Amino acid sequence: MLRSPHCELALARHGRPATTRAVRQVLERMRQTEPPHPAPVKAIAERALACLEDQERPSQRPVINLTGTVLHTNLGRALLAEEAIDAVITAMRSPTNLEYDIEAGKRGERDAHVRDLVRELTGAEDALLVNNNASAVLLVLNTFARDREAIVSRGELIEIGGAFRMPDIMARAGAILREVGTTNRTHLRDYAEAIGSATGLIMKVHTSNYMVQGFTAAVEPAE
């Protein structure tokens, strides 16, 4: 089969191992879905080549956002500014001092490049950057509430995309869940009454795409 002229293009583009696997996949699919009869070598080779081309096509492709939601999670959220794109390209083309302190002449920290900017923007004493909210929540809980209570409103024990569930993240971080209030109403006194020697932190969760309407009450972060 592979010696046939019809396989030359597949072999030239994708190599012998990949072409062999593709031919086997095509033959197996034909056995399962088509009546038993001799298939032309050319047809098998064409299907194998199409299979290989499909496998090499990038799964992530440009799309047009017509949803009406500008920062769309499923479409990559915010677009980068051209300056940021240029900076990424520059950093990917040559070595950089990602984790090297040039002035000290020794290993540094990658967060050092952005820590001061984040502190200036947020007013925080310090900053650690991760690439998603689940990581941030887990690290905060593990740092401040490991084997201690994390107080959170019952109405904020949510699950969002990717099976990100607050009770599960708390458990994995080693925090002890302490629910206060009810599903629809949580008051400031509920938090105050729950605070004790076992408290590690008080947690406020943005409910994202989940909302309780009607007879409700919630405590704002500033309170």
Asked, for residue 62, whether it belongs to a domain, the answer is no
Specify whether 113 is located in the same domain as 148: no
Using only C-alpha atoms, the chain has a radius of gyration, in whole angstroms, of 28
- Name the residue range of residue 9's domain: 5-56
Statement to judge: residues 49 and 99 lie in one domain? no
Q: How many domains does the chain have?
A: 3
Let me know if residue 63 belongs to a domain: no
Residues 146 and 118 in one domain: no
Quick one: 139 and 158 in the same domain? yes
Strand order in the sheet with 149-153: 176-180, 149-153, 199-203
The pLDDT confidence band at residue 34, using thresholds 50, 70 and 90, is confident
Q: What is the pTM of this model?
A: 0.65
For the range 190-195, what are the long-range contacts, defined as Cβ-Cβ under 8 Å and sequence gap of 24 or more? Answer: 190/153, 190/219, 191/151, 191/219, 194/149, 194/151, 195/151
Over residues 58-110, the pLDDT tens digits come to 888 899 999 998 888 889 888 899 999 999 999 999 999 999 999 999 999 98
Say if residue 116's pLDDT is above 80.
yes
171 belongs to a structural domain: yes
Answer with the one of 122, 145, 176 that is the final residue of a domain.
122
Do 171 and 112 belong together in one domain?
Answer: no
| Same structural domain, 164 and 198 | yes
pLDDT digits over 148-168, tens only?
999 999 999 998 777 788 999
pLDDT grade, residue 208 (50/70/90)? confident
CB atoms within 10 A of CB 124: 11
In a domain, 89, yes or no: yes
Write out pLDDT tens, residues 44-54: 888 888 889 88
- Asked if the structure places residue 74 within a domain, the reply is no
Q: Are residues 139 and 116 in the same domain?
A: no
Q: Are residues 116 and 162 in the same domain?
A: no
| Residue 128 located in a structural domain | no
Question: How far apart (Å, rounded) are the C-alpha atoms in residues 180 and 149?
Answer: 12
Residue 69 lies in a domain: no
Q: Does 210 fall in a domain? A: no
Domain boundary among 71, 101, 122: 122
